[in-house]
Structure 1
């Protein structure tokens, strides 16, 4: 009985730590993970190429800078790019600026398409709301990590005003399963799927291959 309780505790701790690492967004303190490589003892699978991951980071940075330079404090817009598809969330005061933000982002270098889910309102989300969104994102990520039948690192999770957005290159089965998991997280009011659906065959093709196991034949035997 004590052993079972210990195993459950260890599993819970591992889940929380893994979710925290994901939420950190590969910060300086987190293990470096690129394209399925193992660094610091953690295995992650990113179905984008290394070049596309860099492009996505560039899109987010350039888009944010242009929005700030053009609109200042009149809007609150978050740009999340996955495989060069830019998701826009946040608030704008009117339909004209909503369209203007979308057009501005669509002209950013390397952007393939834009998903505009900006809310028209004169009230930006509060610090408390944004903190709660961050907490929800962490809970969704932890739930994905805890699932045994999907790869949590194949998904990007964004939360805005209790609405969870799921992004990634996934199969239909993975999309349905992740949606089911996110909907079951407390505090989530809605789940929006921004997936690129690929076939199971395509997933097998793009999945990172494990590194070959090598042995040191020069090591002397015996004592």
Structure 2
């Protein structure tokens, strides 16, 4: 958790905000037709505002953890729909609780899943391996034609893969099976919000009206 990392996150948030604004203004006619907005909602089921809030939560939480605990902890903060997943390592149980308390005071956080382990810091080799596993799981989700891969956020820490997102029970079960069968995944933890098939149907893009020749 360094200030360099926090600055990079801030730049990411600024770029995201700018790109979202330009996309919405440039593509207004398409959005009015329903195609682009429907596609965005189907792949990332958060509102645009919530996506920006999640970026802000990750940025501010990481910065505050660094300010309060410094380099003695290694914490990754992942926010989806304002639910925060904490992964990484801390030296003791007191620091584990302190991290959670610090994050709970960040604006817009509505829930915290504290998966921090009381262990020494993971090595660069371990983190590289986790990043590779995350990439393999994402690729496998993309290959699954019956899933919207971008409806999921994937995080891997010490061989445990976490799945986040707003999905139906069918999608949750399917994604879990895919993750479990991916090489390098030792365990799957679901941090998912389950929605009904009817709710999913309402999120899917509506078919464009067919023009009939007169």
Gap regions ≥5 residues in structure 1 = 1-26, 215-223
Within 1, Cα distance between the matches of 2:143 and 2:175?
11
* Preserved CA contact (<8 Å) 2:180 2:188: yes
Structure 2 vs 1, CA of residues 212 and 67 (structure 1 numbering), >3 Å: closer, same or farther?
Answer: farther
1:27-51 CA distances to partner (integer Å, 9 max, x unpaired)? Answer: 99xx98989975xxx9971100000
For 1:183, the equivalent position in structure 2 comes to: 180
For 1:48, the equivalent position in structure 2 comes to: 46
Which structure 2 residues correspond to residues 99-114 of structure 1 after superposition, within 5 A? 99-114=97-112
Within 1, Cα distance between the matches of 2:107 and 2:41?
31
Structure 2 vs 1, CA of residues 171 and 73 (structure 1 numbering), >3 Å: closer, same or farther?
Answer: same
| TM-score calculated relative to the size of structure 2 | 0.79
Identify which of 184, 189, 194 aligns with 2:191: 194
1:75-103 CA distances to partner (integer Å, 9 max, x unpaired)? Answer: 00000000000000000011111011011
Name the SS of the counterpart of 1:188 in structure 2: coil
Q: Larger Rg: 1 or 2? A: 1
Aligned residues: 185
Structure 2 vs 1, CA of residues 127 and 210 (structure 1 numbering), >3 Å: closer, same or farther?
Answer: farther
Structure 2 vs 1, CA of residues 81 and 201 (structure 1 numbering), >3 Å: closer, same or farther?
Answer: same
After the TM superposition, list the runs of 4 or more consecutive aligned residues in structure 1 that deviate by more than 3 angstroms: 31-38, 208-214
| TM-score calculated relative to the size of structure 1 | 0.75
Within 1, Cα distance between the matches of 2:66 and 2:209?
47
Identify which of 129, 134, 137 aligns with 2:134: 137
Q: Which has the higher helix share?
A: 2
Structure 2 vs 1, CA of residues 145 and 119 (structure 1 numbering), >3 Å: closer, same or farther?
Answer: same
Within 2, Cα distance between the matches of 1:193 and 1:140?
14
For 1:20, the equivalent position in structure 2 comes to: none
